[in-house]
Structures are given as structure tokens and as C-alpha cells.
Amino acid sequence: MKLYDYTMAPNPRRVRIFIAEKGLDIENIAVDLGAKAQMEDAYRAKNPELLVPALELDDGTIIGESMAICRYLEEVHPEPPLLGRTAIEKATVEMWQRRMEMNGLAAVAEAFRNTVPGFAGRAIAGPHNYDQIPDLAARGLLRIEHFFNDLNNRLAASPFVAGEHYSVADITALVAVDFAKVAKKRPDESLTALSAWREKVSARPSAKA
């Protein structure tokens, strides 16, 4: 297996943390998004969606989309489980993972990609070009505030995002909270449950991935 990766982007980090939690050693291929290497023919032939991360299996199959990669790795390396154990837990992890993604990661991406000059005409990653929308950047900043508050409320009631166990929902949440710094947003110190959880999950060796 090979992971097509870019250190500074948030979605590849989700997968790197997942791999570290599983204790796996997967060959890493850097795709320099800064130099637009994902647009070049070599990568386009691998993943026409022009996104990283992507996982290439030994038979040549390409799996794109972070959660699809995590799903594959969970299937072939079930321990430790990061997508839930029982049916209820699996559904609950999926529910919370999605909320972290839509309300957290997507909000930061809205704020970031719609303002930074380097993403002019490229407000959405992928094969199509879309103009930046300043009002969408402003909405993203507001959504990040709501995300921090809602996450704090959740963590005041639960040790981990999806319940009693560390899961991929914590991974997505941590990546979103950390990534918010690109939009110059940090959780307020008054959000003590969020701060305590962030310290706890950041102390896991996987967080360095």
C-alpha cells in the first residue's frame, strides 16, 4: 500500500493519525500541493478527483476520500477499532464523525479557501474551478465559533466525541480544531471541556502524525 499525502493539508492528517493509531507502516508518497503536483498527469492518472489523500492498494486500486481510506484500513486491520465496536457504536461514531467534518473541517475550509490569494479561482479542491466568495468566508468564521461551542458542550457530557472510546470522530475533531488556526481562529479559554479534551488527545503519539 502507498498513501499519497501532503503534510500541511488537514485531510491527509486525518488519515495519518488513523494509521498511527492502528500502528501501521504504510509507504508515504508526497504530492506537493504547493507546487500543484496534484494537477499533473502522473497524479491525475491515479486520482482524477485531484485530491489527497489517496490510498493505492497493491493491486493498483485507488481509494480516495479520507473516510473511505479509514474504512478500508479498519476492515483489514480491525484492531484497535476506531469506527466503533457494536452496531450502535458504529452508527454513533459515524454520526459524530460526520458532524465534526461538516460543522468543523468544512467551516474552516470555507473560511480559508475563500480568502487566501493562493486559492483564487480554486475555492473548492478538485477537478473544477470555483471563484472565491467573500460572504462564504465570513460565514465560515461564524460557523467555526458555533463548532467550538457545540464541541465544548458535547465534551462537557462525554469523555470522547462519540462516547466512551477514542474514535475517528476525535481524529476529525482534533484536525478541525488545529486547522482552524489557518483562519486565525482558536477556541476561547472559557471552553474548558474542549481544552481538556484537546490536551488529552494531543498527548497521544498519533497526534504528531
- Residue ranges binding its own copies (CB under 8 A): 49, 57, 61, 63-65, 67-69, 71-72, 75-76, 87-88, 90-92, 94-95, 98-99, 127-128, 130-131, 133, 135-136, 139, 142-143, 146, 150
CB 90, min distance to its own copies, A: 6
CB 32, min distance to its own copies, A: 23
Q: Kindly tell me which of 11 and 206 has the beta carbon lying closer to its own copies.
A: 11
The rounded distance, in Å, linking the Cα atoms of 138 and 201 is: 29
Q: Are 14 and 108 in contact (CB under 8 A)?
A: no
- Count CA atoms closer than 13 A to 185's CA, side-chain side: 25
H/E stretch holding 146: helix 134-157
Which residue, chain included where needed, has cell 506537493? 32
Q: Is 65 left (phi over 0), alpha (psi -120 to 50) or beta?
A: left
CB 206, min distance to its own copies, A: 21
Which residue, chain included where needed, has cell 490569494? 117
Q: Kindly tell me which of 75 and 79 has the beta carbon lying closer to its own copies.
A: 75
Q: Kindly tell me which of 99 and 198 has the beta carbon lying closer to its own copies.
A: 99
The rounded distance, in Å, linking the Cα atoms of 169 and 153 is: 15
CB 69, min distance to its own copies, A: 7
Sign of CA dihedral 109, 114, 115, 119: positive
CB 197, min distance to its own copies, A: 19
Q: Kindly tell me which of 46 and 207 has the beta carbon lying closer to its own copies.
A: 46
Q: Which three cell numbers stand for residue 47?
A: 486520482
To the nearest 10 degrees (0 to 180), the angle between helices 168-179 and 106-113 is: 20
Q: 3-state DSSP call for residue 64? A: strand
Q: Kindly tell me which of 8 and 91 has the beta carbon lying closer to its own copies.
A: 91
Q: Kindly tell me which of 13 and 207 has the beta carbon lying closer to its own copies.
A: 13
CB 82, min distance to its own copies, A: 14
